Structure 1
Amino acid sequence: MAQQEARSDEAIREEYGLNERTITDRLKENWAGYFFILPTFIAFTGLFYFPIIRGITMTFTNTRIGEPGQFVGLANYQWLVTNDLFVFAFGWTIVFVAGTTFLQLGMGLVAALLLNELRSAAKDWVGALIMSPYFSAPLAGGIIWMWFLDSDFGFVHKLLTVVGIEGPSFLATGLWPFVSLIVAQTWHDYAYSAIIYAAALSSIPSEQYEAAAQAGAGRLRRFRDVVVPRLTIPTIVILALRTAWNIAEFDQPFALTGGGPGTRTMLLSILTYRVAFVNNNFARAYTVGLAMVVLSMSAAVVYVKAIDQEEDLYV
């Protein structure tokens, strides 16, 4: 017994096969797996990680097209926090993202509940109609909404004129440009929420609805007690992903207003484009882009935590 206690930790680990493996040991044991993921790792490094690192270093220079750029320290970040247009674009981007995300969430839930109530014969056709905006090109969607809302040749303006109503300038005056952007973006992407919600609703066993009905629960009570608990995690995932994607949204807002009139609807994505390709200042443009990354990563943290809480996510 005393001899067994005197044995070293290394001897015990060796006896039971618990020796710590080195990187070389792992490479020898799993060389085939590492070989197959090597192309993906190289591609991610060259197309994703390297540009990010290169862009971060660029923010400390005054790089322009055709110019290597010189080190300027934190000058770009100082410009960022003191620039009135960036401060406005940052605030308006938060409002835009919050408005579109929650509207997409609500409309997606309504669409999913509608599809869940339809019979299979009509579900395919109605589902295709509901989902169609999501599968259209965002740039095309922006042009379509401009054709609808333009005060000179827009369909809505002409329709209001026919019935004797003088419509507002949806893309030029008052709060209408902001409302127009939020409505257009909600229309284009609400189907993403509907797809996830429809998958979550289809996974609820019919026995739970029947048990609730036999217990005397009405439709609203069944929705609260049976449906809502199953939609909590999908809702968190939708909020996180749609927040990140709405922050980066560019095509449709650019086609619809271009940040105008003037700079009234300037989003961070459009500001990044203008600073880079109109003002020819790539260093400052990437600094603006980093602000977008910070906002998106905040949503990514919520997304990762949601995944840890649920194994069966229908994303």
Structure 2
Amino acid sequence: MGVQHLAGWLFSTPFLAVFGTFMALPILATLVMSFTDFGLGNVTDPFSAKFIGFGNYTRLFHDATFVDALLNTAYFVVVGVPLTIALGMAAAVLLNSGVDRARTLFRVGFYAPVVTSIVAVAVVWRFVLDPSDGLIAGVASEVGLTAPDFLGSETLAMPSLIALAVWRNLGTVMVLFLAGLQAIPGEVREAARLDGAGAWGEFRRITVPLLRPTTLYATVITTIGYLNVFEEPFVMTQGGPSNSTMTVSLDMYREGFNFFHMGYASAMAYVLLVVIMAITMLQLRLLKDNTT
């Protein structure tokens, strides 16, 4: 090993120490823990946990709450991701071509929810959606109507959380698409117009294909974020009513930190990890030929 290589390793040592202590070791520990019945009684003596093999993983798919959480998370992703991508692209296109004045102000306005604490945002939305004292209820009462109980309805609770997530993440997707739009050569658009392409034809045949790499990236990171959804149901509904907004991350939190079934919660974490990896690989494979 040369002096340069040794110097490189020495400069990397602080990062490697922090990464190993706070990332690598906990990841390996939870993997081992997922094959045990680790609970509150094993915290002081971790090696006293009983090895149960794939018992936690087998139990998961016989757990009605976990199955509901898995389905609810899938619902959140299947509805939320396309909405976020479509609205983010639409906002980016409008800001890039249709808004000339105060463009920066609009960008900041759309992006502001992204940098705002999700807990603060969820608390405000919970107040807005409150059926008795909320903003929507107040407006409805002024015109003689009664606002529905958005968060207390099994039918409306999850769509309400999806609306919050789309509104909050719209800014991130919009910024990504704005960067992609600005990277499209102006000559390409001009050539399309000379060939007689209208606004819709230019968007469908020029803009969308050239934005495919950006679309792939935005879809992947949005999907990963939505699969890990936790704060919105935790703050607004606690998984209710009747587990209609229970997600995998929220169920994992409850099992690990409310009931102290830490081995079982670790198994949930690795099932979610496998799901995220599988969906990400599928997305990359489906769009690979179009992005290279």
Q: 1:119 to 1:174 in 2, by over 3 A?
A: closer
Conserved 8 A contact 1:133-1:191: yes
Residue 228 (structure 1) aligned with residue 208 (structure 2): yes
Fraction of identical pairs, as percent:
28
Residue 131 (structure 1) aligned with residue 111 (structure 2): yes
What's 2:176 paired with? Answer: 196
What letter matches 2:34 in structure 1? T
What's 2:59 paired with? Answer: 79
Task: Return 5+ residue gaps in structure 1 as ranges.
Answer: 1-23
Match of 1:214 among 186, 191, 194: 194
Q: Distance in 2 between matches of 1:303 and 1:106?
A: 17
Match of 1:63 among 16, 38, 55: 38
Aligned length: 286
Q: Distance in 2 between matches of 1:192 and 1:209?
A: 25
Question: 1:87 deviation in Å?
Answer: 0.8
TM-score (norm 2): 0.90
What's 2:236 paired with? Answer: 256
Match of 1:46 among 14, 21, 36: 21
What's 1:166 paired with? Answer: 146
Residue 243 (structure 1) aligned with residue 226 (structure 2): no
- Bigger Rg, structure 1 or 2: 1
What letter matches 2:23 in structure 1? F
Question: 1:200 deviation in Å?
Answer: 0.2
Q: Deviations over 1:222-267 (max 9, x none)?
A: 1122211111111111111111111112112211111012422110
Q: Distance in 1 between matches of 2:290 and 2:201?
A: 26
Q: Distance in 1 between matches of 2:282 and 2:175?
A: 20
What letter matches 2:130 in structure 1? D
Question: 1:299 deviation in Å?
Answer: 3.9
Larger RCO (alpha carbons 8 Å, 6+ apart): 2
What's 2:265 paired with? Answer: 285
Q: Deviations over 1:42-92 (max 9, x none)?
A: 322222221111001111212123423222222212221111111111111
Q: 1:202 to 1:53 in 2, by over 3 A?
A: same
Q: Distance in 2 between matches of 1:114 and 1:138?
A: 26
Which runs of structure 2 are paired with 1:9-24 in the superposition (5 Å)? 24=1
What letter matches 2:21 in structure 1? G
What's 1:115 paired with? Answer: 95
What letter matches 1:184 in structure 2? L
Task: Return 5+ residue gaps in structure 2 as ranges.
Answer: none
What letter matches 2:11 in structure 1? F
Q: Root-mean-square deviation (CA), in Å?
A: 2.1
Conserved 8 A contact 1:149-1:156: yes
Question: 1:174 deviation in Å?
Answer: 4.0
Query: Aligned to 2:83, what secondary structure does the other structure show?
Result: helix
Q: Distance in 2 between matches of 1:31 and 1:304?
A: 37
Question: 1:181 deviation in Å?
Answer: 1.0
Query: Aligned to 1:30, what secondary structure does the other structure show?
Result: helix
Match of 2:6 among 19, 31, 35: 31
Question: 1:280 deviation in Å?
Answer: 1.5
Conserved 8 A contact 1:241-1:299: no
What's 1:17 paired with? Answer: none
Residue 295 (structure 1) aligned with residue 270 (structure 2): no
What letter matches 1:40 in structure 2? F
Q: 1:105 to 1:91 in 2, by over 3 A?
A: same
Question: 1:28 deviation in Å?
Answer: 5.6
Conserved 8 A contact 2:70-2:247: yes
Match of 1:178 among 158, 164, 178: 158
Query: Aligned to 2:61, what secondary structure does the other structure show?
Result: helix
Question: 1:194 deviation in Å?
Answer: 0.6
Q: Deviations over 1:79-110 (max 9, x none)?
A: 21111111111111111112111111011001
Question: 1:291 deviation in Å?
Answer: 1.6
Q: 1:307 to 1:195 in 2, by over 3 A?
A: farther
Q: 1:28 to 1:50 in 2, by over 3 A?
A: same
Query: Aligned to 1:50, what secondary structure does the other structure show?
Result: helix
Query: Aligned to 1:270, what secondary structure does the other structure show?
Result: helix
TM-score (norm 1): 0.84
Q: Distance in 2 between matches of 1:303 and 1:52?
A: 25
